[in-house]
Structure 1
Amino acid sequence: MMKLVFFGAGAVGASVGGWIAEKHEEVYFVDKPEIVDRLREDGVTFYQQGEEKRAVNVKVKAACDISEIEDPDVVVVSVKNYSLDPVARMLKDKVGDLPIIVALQNGVENQKILPKYFSRVLYGVICYNAWLDKPGTVGFQKRGPIVLGALDDEMKFEAKMVARVFNKGVETIVTPHIQDAAHSKIIINLTNSLTTLVGHKFREISDPALFQKLLTNLTYEGVRVVKAAGYGECKLGGMPSWMVMEMATKLPPFISKPIFDKNVKKMVVSSMAQDIIQRGGGDSELDTINGRIIELADQFGVDIPYNRAVFKMCKAEFAKPKFEPLDVRDVWAEVSKNIR
């Protein structure tokens, strides 16, 4: 039986690992001692949004050090990009290059980091929203899917083998177009910067129309950049299509507003907001998500005033000792200076 180790029991690691552990015995978690104690004692509890009373609890195995787990076949790395390099270096020292590595980060920074240490790497794109209530307790909007792939054809067999086990707990689709999937997800993740900057879900949005204008232009600029870079659209588990994102910026508000409101209603507290607002940290995925779009825009000559302004504001505000969300009207005042 394939032995899976989940390194990191945050919202993604706990949800994917918990779902698989329900049906597959050889699942282990590795995390900090206080989290491992909670996992050993209480297991992983997961519930679908709005159905807290039907939460499922799964007993799991957990360790503070991956060296305690003998001969893992697959190591699923579910830490954020900003922690990835030291984690990868440590894993290489402790488990060598024998296990298959499955990377579950947003963006494509993991494609630069992990091949420095490992020869067999698969990349998973998470196509659902999840959040951690406390260590070992995770909520989710829907159960998957995950899009899984590699950077070359040599990992086809490994991808199918891993997907077979993942599919015991969560729909997992193997794709030969992982770059398209990763960049399609980056577009969706662009919203995390703005929603964090204005404190969406933490305070009232003073001007919903401006919020809509900012958010829809952020994502449509992302679509234009990703298209210019030569990547194709990958439909990600019910998330808005590129055509919908374009129409949202071009249709009159009385038509686009109901669609926008429906999509905003689906939003949960983003992983960036969890990092910056809930945990009060200074590290976030801003550089690897929004920074990637700016990098591609520079490379392919695409004008993206909304993204540049929001990125600059986030950089300044997130670096402050205590971040306080901005009023959306103040954000718009700054962005509008960039629009020709």
Structure 2
Amino acid sequence: MKVIIIGAGGAIGSCLSGWLSEVSQDIYLFDKPSVSEVLKEKGITYYKQNEAKQNVKVKVIDSLSEVENPDLIAIVVKNYSLDGVSGLIKETVKGNPVILGLQNGVENQRILPKYFDRVVYGIIEFNAWLDEIGIVGYQNRGPFVIGTLDNGMQAELKAIAELFNKGVETIITDRITDAAYCKMVINLTNSFTTLVGMGYRDITNLHAFKEILTNSMYEGVKILKKMGVKEYKAHTMPTWAKIKASATLPNFITDGMFKKNLAKMVLSSMAQDIIQRKSGESELESLIGEFVSLGDRYGMDIPYNRAVYKLCKEKFNRHPFVPMTEEEVLAEVRKLQNK
């Protein structure tokens, strides 16, 4: 199977590129020139958190047209780049390859079908981060969860899973939209942790931080239940019952587990965009913005997500970005609650 990975220099793209390049000679990486040059020279070095590093030599292409009739194109870019990348594929790639969209959220389910008729969607159930171009760390080696909207293309799904499973755990599901929405609940934390600069400043008020983080996710769960989404349980994500317990039980019961989980948290992809890369672009609209819109549609009271969304819209476009404190964010939540 000839595979092109677009966005090979990002955190998830680097992981996928490194893992697959170890097990197949037909993996071709594509990214912008400044990234491609580094990958050509140094390859990809990956490591599991607190473990030894491994380096993999990779094949990098300068144009998508270099690979004739690829079987699969894995698009590992953020939603805000998806239209542009899709247009480039249509212009330069011959044949009718399967397209694998690996993005957070469900916006890719609206964008990719405009360009392609053979689309597989993937959910990323692990965390990864870039130390620099070509050097990536991760917490767990997968899994990816893949599926199609109509549960068609079973042969293609099995072929992708067979290849991917040689390098990273990959699971086929017949509930890809449920899985995407459930992962979005976890991604709701990205906006808040970026807003308060987690990883760049000390969290000084644990209970304020915990209240906002856990209630943001619990509001998300309540929206999904209202929509009729069924819980998709993945072993790398907290269950809805645990999310509810964290948000509603007294601190003396939940503090211990929360502190343990907090210690495992790494820099989110949104923080990598806003704080690390100092970019004004992020997945704000396609993640928490999507949930705020759903809250409006279903007439739901979601003060935590509304406050965080409002503040992120105000702060993320300011240069330099200056994180807020968790107390300042909670004060905005209280204003909405007291209206």
Q: Shorter-chain TM-score category?
A: over 0.9
Q: 1:173 aligns with which of 171, 174, 181?
A: 171
Offset at 1:237?
Answer: 3.2
- Corresponding residue of 1:4: 3
Task: Spell out, residue by residue over 1:40-91, the C-alpha distance to the aligned partner (whole angstroms, 9 max, x if none).
Answer: 111111100001xx21111110012111222211000001001110110111
AA matched with 2:44: V
The answer to whether the 8 A contact 1:128-1:237 is kept is no
- Corresponding residue of 1:89: 87
AA matched with 2:27: V
- Corresponding residue of 2:28: 28
Instruction: Work out the CA distance in 1 between the residues paired with 2:95 and 2:3.
Output: 15
Offset at 1:132?
Answer: 0.9
Offset at 1:97?
Answer: 5.8
- Corresponding residue of 1:254: 252
- Corresponding residue of 1:46: 46
The answer to whether structure 1 residue 315 and structure 2 residue 290 are counterparts is no
- Corresponding residue of 1:333: 331
- Three-state SS of the structure 1 residue aligned to 2:73 is strand
AA matched with 2:324: L
The answer to whether the 8 A contact 2:69-2:95 is kept is no
The answer to whether structure 1 residue 142 and structure 2 residue 112 are counterparts is no
Instruction: Work out the CA distance in 2 between the residues paired with 1:301 and 1:96.
Output: 47
Instruction: Work out the CA distance in 2 between the residues paired with 1:21 and 1:171.
Output: 15
RMSD between superposed Cα atoms in Å: 1.0
Percentage of identical aligned residues: 51
AA matched with 2:256: P
Task: Spell out, residue by residue over 1:150-180, the C-alpha distance to the aligned partner (whole angstroms, 9 max, x if none).
Answer: 1112222211111111111000000000011
AA matched with 1:8: G
Distance 1:257 1:97, change over 3 A: farther
- Corresponding residue of 1:132: 130
Instruction: Work out the CA distance in 2 between the residues paired with 1:236 and 1:261.
Output: 21
Instruction: Work out the CA distance in 2 between the residues paired with 1:80 and 1:306.
Output: 25
Task: Spell out, residue by residue over 1:7-50, the C-alpha distance to the aligned partner (whole angstroms, 9 max, x if none).
Answer: 01200111012111111111010011121111111111110000
AA matched with 1:334: E
Offset at 1:96?
Answer: 4.8
Offset at 1:321?
Answer: 2.4
The correspondence of residues 88-127 of structure 1 with structure 2, limited to 5 A, is 88-96=86-94, 98-127=96-125
Instruction: Work out the CA distance in 2 between the residues paired with 1:316 and 1:39.
Output: 36
Offset at 1:339?
Answer: 1.3
Large movers: runs of 4+ above 6 Å: none
- Corresponding residue of 1:199: 197
Q: Structure 1: where are the runs of 5+ without partners?
A: none
Q: 2:274 aligns with which of 267, 273, 276?
A: 276
Q: 1:156 aligns with which of 148, 154, 158?
A: 154
Offset at 1:327?
Answer: 1.2
Q: TM-score, normalised by structure 2?
A: 0.97
Q: Structure 2: where are the runs of 5+ without partners?
A: none
Aligned residues: 337
Distance 1:74 1:210, change over 3 A: same
